[in-house]
Amino acid sequence: MSKINLGVIGLGHIFNEHYKVILKIKEFNISGVFTKTNKNSFKFARKNKSVKVYKTIDEMMRDNRIQAVIVLVSPDESFNVIKKIIPYRKIFFTEKPVGLNFKQAKELLRLANKYKTLNMVGYNRRFYSVFEKGIEHIKKKGELYGILIEGHERFWKIKKRKTGKLLYNWIYANSTHTIDLLRYFGGEFDKIFSIKNSIYNINGDQFSMILKSKKKIIATYVSNWYSPGGWSVKLFGDRISAVFDPLEKGYLIDHRFNKTIIQPSKNDTEFKPGFYKQLIFFKKLILDKKLHWPAQDIKETFETVKITKKILS
């Protein structure tokens, strides 16, 4: 099989994690790179002589050698970069978020629909092997009945590191990781009841939702931004439960209250969890010209954005 020539936009910390996976996937070849100042681009190119450094994003997108693009810019830059590349109709993968608010996400959805650009949005937790195994065990016993997701943010710490629009729109920039898991586990929801409270933040910093999916699964989402806690998921089946706390580690509880550890896959221990399978699904998108679940594009991600908007309203 011939190589798939990739263009990469953004070479920050998260690129290093993706690069480990790209090296593992034999069909992938990084052909060109672009960064805002290109300092990191030239540093990378010095170690990889065949890699071209582009002066602009447009130059990269016009190059016919680039078959697909990976966007790894910071959340506050993602909207402008994605907006710029969609009209070129090249298949692309982008880290979340698809915009820092509902309006931006809706605009990217409009553009993606207009130009019919194939794309994939990087919610890597959809590819956690422990989640997949946990669901399999529950479904062996019957149906999934309930979901409890805690998406707490350590906002008193985050405020010291982040500023401006990113801080103001943190629920879109980061909390959608856990909000998206509602749809990953439960499917689409037709009944949503939400309440919020604002202690320090005008947009809210205490959130709670009760949801009922079209599959009749009851889900609860809780997020407190000024109370110590992390991200966790509990799944409730027929005399079996699965607990993921933290998300990367899980165990099963049977009807006798015996616990069984869920072992992650080799790839989820070798690489950042979910990253390997996520890029395998991006490769499938490039080759098949269609998306395979649990991967999702801007259109499907917009359903998560709509739930996020509901939390804030």
Task: Find where tokens 């593992």 sit.
Answer: 24
DSSP track, 143-168: ---EEEEEE---HHHHHHH--HHHHH
Show the DSSP H helices in 54-128 as ranges: 57-62, 75-85, 102-115
CA distances from 67 to 3, 31, 88 (A): 10, 9, 11
Q: Look at residue 159 in the predicted model and tell me its pLDDT.
A: 86
For the domain covering 4-124, report its CATH number.
3.40.50.720
Q: By the 8 A CB rule, do 256 and 240 touch? A: no
Q: Look at residue 236 in the predicted model and tell me its pLDDT.
A: 99
Q: Look at residue 1 in the predicted model and tell me its pLDDT.
A: 61
Q: By the 8 A CB rule, do 294 and 285 touch? A: no
pLDDT (tens digit, 0 to 9) for every residue of the chain, 313 residues total?
689 999 999 999 999 999 999 999 999 999 999 999 888 899 999 999 899 999 999 999 999 999 999 999 999 999 999 999 999 999 999 999 999 999 999 999 999 999 999 999 999 999 999 999 999 999 999 999 999 999 999 999 998 888 788 889 999 999 999 999 999 999 999 999 999 999 998 899 999 999 999 999 999 999 999 999 999 999 999 999 999 999 999 999 999 999 999 999 999 999 999 999 999 999 999 999 999 999 999 999 999 999 999 999 8
Those residues whose C-beta lies under 8 Å from the C-beta of residue 64, and which sit 6 or more positions away, are: none
Q: Look at residue 291 in the predicted model and tell me its pLDDT.
A: 98
Q: Which of 235, 279, 271 is nearest to 253 (CA)?
A: 235
Q: Look at residue 162 in the predicted model and tell me its pLDDT.
A: 84
**Opening angle at CA 167, ends 165 and 169, nearest 5:** 65
Those residues whose C-beta lies under 8 Å from the C-beta of residue 260, and which sit 6 or more positions away, are: 251, 252, 254
Q: Look at residue 53 in the predicted model and tell me its pLDDT.
A: 96
Start and end residues for every CATH 3.40.50.720 domain found in the chain: 4-124
Q: Look at residue 163 in the predicted model and tell me its pLDDT.
A: 79
Q: Which of 127, 83, 133, 164 is nearest to 272 (CA)?
A: 127
Q: Look at residue 268 in the predicted model and tell me its pLDDT.
A: 99
Q: By the 8 A CB rule, do 53 and 33 touch? A: yes
- Tokens representing 93? 């993968």
For the domain covering 126-265+298-312, report its CATH number.
3.30.360.10
Q: By the 8 A CB rule, do 98 and 105 touch? A: yes
Start and end residues for every CATH 3.30.360.10 domain found in the chain: 126-265+298-312
